[in-house]
Structures are given as structure tokens and as C-alpha cells.
């Protein structure tokens, strides 16, 4: 059963990898809000980490890569770096977790080394969860605060894009993967310590046997006197 949970965690990890790549590549982090003066505007704007896209009615979409990183707001600049780090962490987590599974031939069948490797893989999944959740939540919080800010013009207001929702779902998948692996590691560790506890109890019993003194039972004088009569 434990091996199945580890395989399930790896499958979730692959979904997390695809999710982080999709979130990083999609331009739909912030989309134009059709409110107020923008209600009748027939142009839709998508803003992502690498490019922005315009789509007009009955026309195909046109995308343009950002000319400079410095023109982006701080939350998108940080999101670009953190999402790239997240992809790298998920790839490393999958590689490390694969070496820590029981069926793997890594570590020369050393159970203790495999347990440590599995724990490292689970920790990296949790770290990738944070590097995915932080930029997505930061951008989402900025979009919401600007949307309800009365000093921001209507054409400058944005709504939450599809990439943000995918990012939140992906961070949840990475969190579940890391938790499953760490729970599996704790169960392995407890099972690894059982033989040492049994050996300690056996040594204690042997020591008691060696330190005990055999006392020969001798009949009492009253018994001998009763037997003589």
C-alpha cells in the first residue's frame, strides 16, 4: 500500500510539472476588465510573464514579447523568476523521489539512504509548492486590490486570468505530493527503528539471564523431622 502511495505522489508530481510549465507560459495572468467605460470596448488584453496579447472582435490574436523586463510591475518580475525556480524544483523533486522508491535500484538497496532520499524529494515538493503559490497569490492580490481601488482608471483595471487559477490548483497538487512522500518517509522510519527496539529488548533479557543466580531448593529442617517421624 505504501508503494502505491509513493507512485501516486509521483504521478501528481508530473501533473504539477505540467501545471507549472503551463502557468509560466500562458499569457493569461491578467486580463482586461469590461467595466464602466470599457464595457463597449471590443478589444481584449491578456498580460503574462513573457508577452501580452491583443484580440479584437472577428480578428485573430496578436501577441508581442516584452521589450524589457524593467517595464513589468514588481509582482510580474518576481513571478517570472519564482516560476522558473518552481519548474526546476519540480524536475529535481521527481528525479530524487524516483531514486527513493523501494523498487528503484539506486542507493544499492540501502534502506536508510532511500528513506533520506524520499524525505528530500518530499521537502523539495513542498518548496516548489511555495515558489508556485507565492507569485500566483501576489499577482492575484494586486489585481483584486487595483480592481476595487477608486483611484485606478477603468481602462487600467484587470481581472484574474486563467493562469492564476491553474497556478493555485498546481500548488495544491504539489502540496499533496510532498505531504504523501513525507508521511511515507515517517512510516518507513518507524518501521526501520522496530528491529533496533527488538534487539535492545533481547539484549536486556539476555543480560538478566546472565546476571541471575540459580538457588538450589533444599528441604527445611521441619520437613526432615516430619519425615523421620
Is residue 94 in some structural domain? Answer: yes
Is residue 131 within 8 Å of 71, Cβ to Cβ? no
**How confident is the model at residue 196, as a pLDDT?**
43
Q: For the chain, what's the residue count?
A: 229
Alpha carbon distance 14, 4 (integer Å): 15
Residue 28, domain CATH: 1.20.140.150
What's the pLDDT at 209?
Answer: 52
Domain of 142?
2-192
- Separation CA 50–CA 64 (nearest Å): 9
From first CA to last CA, the distance across the chain in angstroms is: 74
Paired with 47 in beta bridges are 30, 52
Is the residue at 229 inside a domain?
Answer: no
Q: Is residue 214 part of a domain?
A: no
pLDDT of residue 60: 75
For the chain, 229 residues long, give each residue's pLDDT as a single digit of tens: 567 788 888 899 999 999 999 999 999 999 887 766 555 556 778 888 999 888 776 667 788 898 888 888 899 999 999 999 999 999 999 988 887 666 656 655 667 777 788 889 899 999 999 999 999 999 999 999 988 888 877 777 888 999 999 999 999 999 999 999 998 888 877 765 554 444 444 454 554 455 555 445 555 554 444 444 4
By CB atoms closer than 10 A (0-12, 13-18, 19+), residue 62 is exposed
Question: Is residue 211 in a domain?
Answer: no
Number of domains in the chain: 1
pLDDT of residue 208: 47
pLDDT at position 193 is 52
Residue 204 belongs to a domain: no
Position 74 in a domain: yes
The three cell numbers of residue 109 are 538497496
Amino acid at each position: 500500500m505504501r508503494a502505491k502511495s509513493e507512485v501516486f505522489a509521483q504521478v501528481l508530481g508530473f501533473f504539477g510539472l505540467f501545471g507549472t510549465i503551463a502557468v509560466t507560459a500562458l499569457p493569461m495572468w491578467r486580463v482586461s476588465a469590461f467595466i464602466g467605460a470599457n464595457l463597449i470596448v471590443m478589444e481584449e488584453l491578456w498580460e503574462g510573464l513573457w508577452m501580452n496579447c491583443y484580440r479584437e472582435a472577428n480578428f485573430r490574436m496578436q501577441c508581442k514579447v516584452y521589450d524589457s523586463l524593467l517595464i513589468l510591475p514588481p509582482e510580474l518580475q518576481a513571478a517570472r523568476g519564482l516560476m522558473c525556480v518552481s519548474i526546476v524544483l519540480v524536475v529535481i523533486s521527481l528525479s530524487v523521489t524516483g531514486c527513493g522508491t523501494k523498487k528503484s535500484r539506486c542507493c544499492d538497496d540501502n534502506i536508510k539512504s532511500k528513506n533520506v532520499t524520499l524525505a528530500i524529494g518530499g521537502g523539495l515538493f513542498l518548496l516548489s509548492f511555495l515558489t508556485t503559490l507565492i507569485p500566483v497569490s501576489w499577482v492575484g492580490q494586486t489585481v483584486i486590490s487595483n480592481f476595487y481601488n477608486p483611484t485606478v482608471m477603468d481602462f487600467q483595471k484587470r481581472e484574474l486570468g486563467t493562469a492564476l487559477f491553474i497556478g493555485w490548483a498546481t500548488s495544491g497538487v504539489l502540496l499533496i505530493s510532498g505531504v504523501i512522500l513525507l508521511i511515507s518517509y515517517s512510516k518507513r522510519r518507524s518501521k526501520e527503528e522496530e528491529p533496533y527496539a527488538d534487539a535492545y529488548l533481547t539484549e536486556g533479557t539476555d543480560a538478566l539471564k546472565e546476571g541471575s543466580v540459580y538457588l538450589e531448593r533444599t528441604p527445611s529442617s521441619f520437613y526432615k523431622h516430619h519425615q523421620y517421624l
